[in-house]
Structure formats: structure tokens, C-alpha cells
Amino acid sequence: MRKKIVAGNWKMNLTSSQAHELVSSLALASDTFEDVYVACFIPAIYYNALKEKSDRLIMGLQNFYPENSGAYTGEIGIEHLRDLQCSHVLIGHSERRMLFGEDDACVKRKVDAAISNGITPFFCCGEPLAVREANEQLSFVKQQLEASLFHLAEEDVKKCVIAYEPIWAIGTGKTASVAEAEEMHAAIRSWIEERYNHQTSNKISILYGGSCNASNAKELFASPNVDGGLIGGASLKAESFLEIIHSF
């Protein structure tokens, strides 16, 4: 049975007081989450203060450097994640790929580092507008998976969550249609089955991550292969995030 997951990616947002207020509101409502796993990927500076607010909220980090320690000024290493007892991390987000030059080889290193240290990767993949307009989105996303995720052993890939985020729909107000989202999610699941087996393909949760909000979440989550969402702006306010969580 695949997990239903709603995860918020705060990105570089919220002050300390705003973060505490948001998590406190989510914690108060956590008994309504039922069978939905709820995660918040938060700025690292808030992690210790927020991680124990509720045992129904998963706290994760948005980024890390795939070395234990060393001369990497400004980075957060694996040793830091272990010390924080961080259990979940985003890997391969389009902003890390596009703004910070993280290529498939870098993403693969991060996947390997997370898995070898018992940290659950939320592996992000997705195509830019030019690729979508050229109708090459399926081959583009398949290549991302083959380059950075499908080298894992079956027992390890089952530990991952995949988030499909069409880059052209992130923060633009545009959203893939339900049919477009389902097409990609179904394709991803078929590639997992092709590389591994049916049991593995039916184990991995695949989230939609392109401008999912309270108005479209219910329809998206009703799709057979959409197991939840990786939410950006709508995760920054308790009211809209809770409405998405309750959309299953």
C-alpha cells in the first residue's frame, strides 16, 4: 500500500516566529490527518526548535552536501544531518538544479549519501517549458530517473519518495492538467516496474509538485497514480496547507 503524503517545501521563507506559529497550528490539527503523512521541509536553522512539535509531523531539510564534513564553507553535511536526527531530505529540486548547477551526477551522489545514512530522499524530477513544448517530457524525466535514482538496489529504491515537478508550473500559477499529471505519474510508475518489478512500483509514493493548491488538490489526488503533493507557497499558511492535507 502506497503512502499518501502531503509535504510542504518552505524554501527560503518564514521568520522564526512565523515558523513556530505555522507548525503549532499544524500540530493542533494533526489528529485530523488520518492516514496522510504530513511533512515540512524547513530551513535548517529552525530544525532543532521545530522537530519535536508533533509526532504526527515529519520535519525534513531542503538541502545538504554529500560529505560527512570538511572544507565546504556554508554547507550542511551528512554529519550535521545525523546529529540533528534528520530523517528526510529533498534531493534534485528544480531550483537546486537550475540556480545552483546541480547536475545528475551531483543528485546521484546525494541520493547515495542519504540512503547510506538512513535518510529518506524525496527525489525531485521534472521538465522545463521548452521540453514540454517539444513533447519530450517523458524521455527527459526518464533520463533523470535513470541517471540518478535507478542505480539503487530494489531494497533501497523502495525507501525513496518521488516528486514530479513540471518546472514550468512551479510558482507560475500554471498547473499541469490532471491528465498531464496522471500521464507522467503513470509513466514513472511503469518505468519503476520495468527497472525493478510490480511490487516495487506499487510501493513508491509519487507526489505532484507543480503549483498544487487548495483549489486543485482534490482533483489531482483523485488520480490513480498521484499519491499526494509537494507543496510550495500554499504550505506557508496553515489554512491552505490543511485544506490540501484534507483533500484526500
Structure-block grid coordinates of residue 135: 513533447
Q: Identify whether 165 is a catalytic site residue.
A: yes
Q: Which residues contact 77 (CB under 8 A, 6 or more apart)?
A: 64, 65, 67, 68, 69, 70
Chain position carrying cell 503523512: 37
Which residue in 64, 96, 92, 91 sits closest to 78, CA to CA?
Answer: 64
Q: How many angstroms separate the CA atoms of 58 and 40, rounded?
A: 6
| Kind of pairing between the strands at 228-231 and 57-61 | unpaired
- Catalytic option among 88, 93, 127, 182: 93
Structure-block grid coordinates of residue 164: 514530479
Q: How many angstroms separate the CA atoms of 108 and 88, rounded?
A: 16
- Catalytic option among 95, 127, 165, 182: 165
**CA-angle at 26, arms to 32 and 244, nearest 5°:** 65
Enumerate the active-site residues.
93, 165
